[in-house]
Amino acid sequence: MIRRNFLALVFLGSLFCCSIALLGVSEAQVGFATSEATAADPVEQVLVDGMKLENDRRWGEALTHYEEAVRLYPQSHKLKKRVALTRIQFDLDRRYSDQSYVRILQQLSEQQAIDLFSEVALKIESHYVESPNWNELLLRGTEDLEVALANADFAKVNRMQAELDRRQQAIQQVRNVLRDRRLTDRHQTLEMVRWIGRYSARQLGVSVTPIILEYMCGAMNSLDTYSTYLTGDQLDDVYSQIEGNFVGLGIELKADQGSLLIADVITKGPAEAAGIRPGDRIIAVDGVSTQDVSTDRAADMLKGEQGSTVNVTVVSPDTNPRLVTVRRERVDVPSVEDVKVIDAAAGVGYFRISSFQKTTSRDVDSALWKLHRDGMRSLVIDVRGNPGGLLTEAVEVADRFIFDGTIVATHGRSARENYDYKAHRVGTWRVPLVVLIDSDSASASEIFAGAIRDHRRGRVVGIRTYGKGSVQGIFPLRSIKAGVRLTTAKFYSPSGRAISQQGVEPDVIVQTVAKPADAAFVEADQDNDPVLRAGIREARNLIAVAPQAKPQSNQQTQASSQPRRLPETLGW
């Protein structure tokens, strides 16, 4: 059983495995076009292209567009400002597309909303990796409120009719009050939020609750990119991802040009049975065009109870639209895929880890023994595109290959977050190892790749990883069915090197051309994959100096399969 009072996750961004496994916005591909007018200043062209996406309310694509640009032009303050504002819009749109959030919003009284804010503030005070700056939290809450006041969904749900000048006056007065107050603790912050809620509600003609909730969400989002408030449905999605199963259609989606691109179809899932394939696009859900609603709203319409059905209009490449009825069922999501001996002559085994979920280490064990029986003499593990997952599973998988020493160290503000995860010699596989990485390998996959590289246990091939070196805990709330994701610690490779902003550097650099926006997952094919080709070459070279591949003894392997006790604050 999972201890759901706190789970340690190391995911990239806000990745959720919802009932249709909607991919995080980092998966959207938005190209940077050029023109003669802006060729001398590429940042200006990025801004022009981004504003087109914003004007179409394609917030997820716009956010990804700006984030990718910031990685290319990290000194641009204009781009960083667009990232901040677009993220607020994206989060706001997601919340008001989420019926679990809207229901809570409409049910909470003023006092219940205050109590909810208080509980969230206590979580921040107790668990966040740094001491909170309470003034900064409320300033960000004010920014969130200002954006919300111009949002049509906020106005409709909360029946707001205040004119623009009155909205602007309310926001300015709140800013003036905050500028003159120095908040030193959680209790002062709570009283300030109560005053802001009541004042703003009077000025705007709305209830106090939506004002307080905007400040709560803004406070969470102000902490860092990865900390956030989780609605009830989002919390369920996180648990589904951890468990590796969910109720849905069995497809992975990403937003693309006003439609839902099917990036992958889970084997033996309902969508596969209905004839839906990777590369198809959903252009309507139950008769509602995806052009007319936000990506999250369209994705939300695909959700439903087990056994219920949904009608989707699907377009395949070079075919006319067709109507498909799909029944929602429970789907198991594999995290270890494409297990095979990829070079039979040399005995090179291969598998791909798509994420680190509850079953990953067990699935890796099964894959290793299958490949061993099939004649594996060396192994390529592919964590390209792996956004992360459970910290403890990344440690367990690394422990299958590292004999002793530190796998990863975590350090936080609280002493209970400081922990060195050690390898155990029992059950360690001695097979020559190659790990494939790319710029989308993040968090837990960086823990795994960093440990292999620092211990010189294998060769790391590809390009530098994402550089997301922090641990998030999932904290359910007592007052309502919801939760928060909080950064509780930063992690460091066995050599003591920080992963944040730096990533893991490969031993062998292989540059590749970016995949097109509509590229779907395909099985490993070295003919069309230079990184895989280089990895196999390295694996062949390692065989010459390799000992036997299997663990030291069956008895030791069985012992290693028993769960070792890890700190309770870090999951199970």
Query: What separation in angstroms does the CA of 212 have from each of 60, 194, 311?
Result: 25, 8, 38
Q: State yes or no: is 363 an active-site residue.
A: no
Count how many residues are written for the chain: 572
Q: Give the C-alpha separation, 432 to 541, whole Å.
A: 9
Per-residue tokens: 190: 């709570």
- The catalytic residue among 443, 470, 493, 560 is 443
218-237 residues labelled b (16+ CB within 10 A) or e (exposed) = bbbbbbeebbbbbbbbbbbb
- The catalytic residue among 468, 470, 490, 493 is 468
**Amino acid in position 227:** S
Query: In terms of C-beta distances under 8 Å and separation of at least 24 residues, what long-range contacts does 522-526 make, across chains too?
Result: 522/278, 523/338, 524/338, 524/340, 524/342, 524/350, 524/352, 524/382, 526/342
**Is 304:328 a contact under the CB 8 Å cutoff?**
yes
- The catalytic residue among 98, 233, 438, 454 is 454
Question: Which among 69, 8, 11, 7 has a CA at the least distance from the CA of 469?
Answer: 11
Tell me the helices (H) and strands (E) count for the chain, helix number first.
18, 21
Q: State yes or no: is 441 an active-site residue.
A: no
Q: State yes or no: is 300 an active-site residue.
A: no
Largest CA distance in the chain: 77
Q: Give the C-alpha separation, 11 to 222, whole Å.
A: 18
84: exposed, middle or buried (Cβ count in 10 Å: 0-12, 13-18, 19+): middle
Which residue is associated with the tokens 């299997």? Answer: 550
CA 414 to chain centre: 24
Q: Give the C-alpha separation, 247 to 260, whole Å.
A: 19
- Sign of the Cα torsion 331, 332, 336, 341 reads negative
Q: Give the C-alpha separation, 433 to 541, whole Å.
A: 11
**Is 452:191 a contact under the CB 8 Å cutoff?**
no
Q: Which residues are catalytic?
A: 443, 454, 468
